Amino acid sequence: MIRLPGLIDPHVHLREPGATHKEDFDSGTAAALAGGFTAVLVMPNTQPPLTDEPSLKQAQAAAKSKARCDYGIFLGAGADNVATVSSLASQACGLKMYLDQTYGPLRLEGLAVLRDHIGNWPADRPVAVHAEGRSLAAALLIATLYERPLHVCHVSRKDEIALIRKTKEIGLPVTCEVTPHHLFLTEDDVPKLGAGRGEVRPRLATAADRDALWANLDVVDCFATDHAPHTRSEKDGEDPPPGFPGLETALGLLLTAVSEGRLTLDDLIIRSHTNPRRIFGLPEQHETFVEIDLDAVWEVRSSGMHTRCDWTPFEGMRLQGQVRRVTLRNKLAYADGEILVPPGYGKDLSSVTHQQIK
Ligand code: DOR
Ligand code: ZN
Ligand code: ZN
């Protein structure tokens, strides 16, 4: 048995408000605790998207009454909130910009709106982007010209990680994350998963892309699940939405890599605790830790999971290393399959951050 600090997942979709049949603050934060995460940063592509004060208040109220682990909430950059969203910056863990088509309506078209959002957002608050291929080059250039730090979500391809390495080499304040699914799956897994279940953005890439992520882990700041739950029937139906659940499998996958000597525990702690906390300016969670059985071998089964989506792309995989107990702010929050803290136990870390910054 070993102890890790409480893990932080900087990229999670909890679907509240608007699509709580997929997930809500209760089920999603239960899944987080079961996966060893004591804090999650949640994305704004909800229904409605979190782009203004009423929608942010709606998400804050749901989180306050339902979250079981700690959380921060991202605001979304839209075409219609360029002038207004920065007034809410102190209540959010960052601004999320979507430069490519994914799930939901929050895609930014054109250069001007991207420039204005980056220029208007407070320089000391994080900006995260979904930007693939040439969108990534555009986002990096604009952040550079406006001297803003930029966090690049779910880097998935060889040419993208090479571009980020180059950007870091010349000293620009760019950070990035990779997902377990891009580290452990490739496009060759799509036939086995089925076409609908295999849909995710960024798409599963080639084996060469996956290998490039592993080979460039030194420039990867964070692991992030991009937990994007859609129900099994939605994934198997007409017009399957893109996204994979990941909160309850990420740590097992990463610990398996540790057991195989492909990663060290320090590598994991830096990318799942130290760096997310630093990049998003999160306060320390006191008396918070995760107890792990490094020798336990287990088989991934969606049937025992806490997420509401009822499937996983890692079904049947044998993993080594399992979460036994999670203690959050001196309270036993999870033990051997059971969630032990009630909805409402989780705290909003965005506003605490703000108090510390002031
Ligand atoms: O596959 C994805 N699903 N990629 C995204 O960027 C959004 C996410 C979702 O919200 O379902
Ligand atoms: Zn994304
Ligand atoms: Zn996402």
If you measure from the C-alpha of residue 87 to the centroid of ligand 3, how many angstroms do you get, rounded to a whole number? 24
- So what's the pLDDT on residue 357? 39
Retrieve residue 3's tokens. Answer: 């102890």
Express each pLDDT in 238-272 by its tens digit: 999 999 999 999 999 999 999 999 999 999 999 99
With 90 as the cut, is the pLDDT of residue 11 above it?
Answer: yes
Distance CA 154, CA 107 (A): 16
pTM of structure? 0.97
Contacts for 299 with CB less than 8 Å, ≥ 6 apart: 316, 317, 318, 319
Residue 352 banded pLDDT, cuts 50, 70, 90: low
Tell me if 339 CB under 6 Å of ligand 1. no
Would you say the CB of residue 46 lies under 6 angstroms from ligand 1?
A: no
* Mean pLDDT in residue range 301-308: 97
CATH number for 286: 3.20.20.140
Which ligand is closest in space to the CA of residue 181?
Answer: 1
Distance CA 33, CA 297 (A): 19
Q: Which residues surround ligand 3, an ion (CB under 5 A)?
A: 226
Residue 243 CA to ligand 1 centre (angstroms): 5
User: How far, in Å, is the centroid of ligand 1 from the Cα of 92?
Assistant: 20
The 10s digit of each residue's pLDDT in 17-54 is 999 999 999 999 999 999 999 999 999 999 999 999 99
pLDDT at 354: 47
Domain count, the chain: 1
| Residues 6 or more apart whose Cβ sits within 8 Å of residue 167 | 140, 144, 174
DSSP element (H, E) containing 268:
helix 265-269
Rounded Cα–Cα distance for residues 135 and 100 (Å)? 7
Ligand positioned closest to the Cα atom of 309? 1
C-alpha 125/C-alpha 97 separation (Å) is 14
- CA–CA–CA angle 152, 7, 289 (5° rounding): 165
Q: Please provide the average confidence, as pLDDT, over all residues in the chain.
A: 96
Q: Which two tokens stand for residue 177?
A: 């994350």
130 lines ligand 1 (CB under 6 A): yes
% of the chain at pLDDT higher than 90? 96
Distance 295 CA to ligand 3 centre (A): 31
Atom of ligand 1 nearest to the CA of 229: 11
Q: Per residue in 87-106, pLDDT tens?
A: 999 999 999 999 998 999 99
C-alpha of residue 1 to centroid of ligand 3, in Å:
32
Per-residue pLDDT band at 355 (split at 50, 70, 90) = very low
Segment 47-58, tens digit of pLDDT: 999 999 999 999
Ligand 1 lined by 246 (C-beta under 6 Å): no
CA 102 to ligand 3 centroid distance, Å: 8
CA 315 from centroid of its chain's CA atoms: 20
When pLDDT is averaged across residues 208-212 and rounded to a whole number, the result is 99
Given a contact cutoff of 8 angstroms between Cβ atoms, the answer to whether 125 and 356 are in contact is: no
Does ligand 1 come within 6 angstroms of the Cβ of 302? no
Q: Is 234's pLDDT higher than 90?
A: yes
- Best residue among 226, 239, 311 to mutate for probing ligand 1's pocket (most ligand atoms within 8 Å of CB) is 226
Atom of ligand 1 nearest to the CA of 43: 10
Domain housing 143? 2-356
Nearest to 95 by CA among 138, 33, 139, 145: 139
Residues 6+ apart with CB under 8 A from 195: 240
Q: Whose CA is nearest to atom 4 of ligand 1?
A: 201
39 DSSP β-pair partners: 8, 70
Q: Return the best residue to mutate from 12, 13, 193 for the ligand 1 pocket (most ligand atoms within 8 A of CB).
A: 13
- The predicted pLDDT at position 353 comes to 54
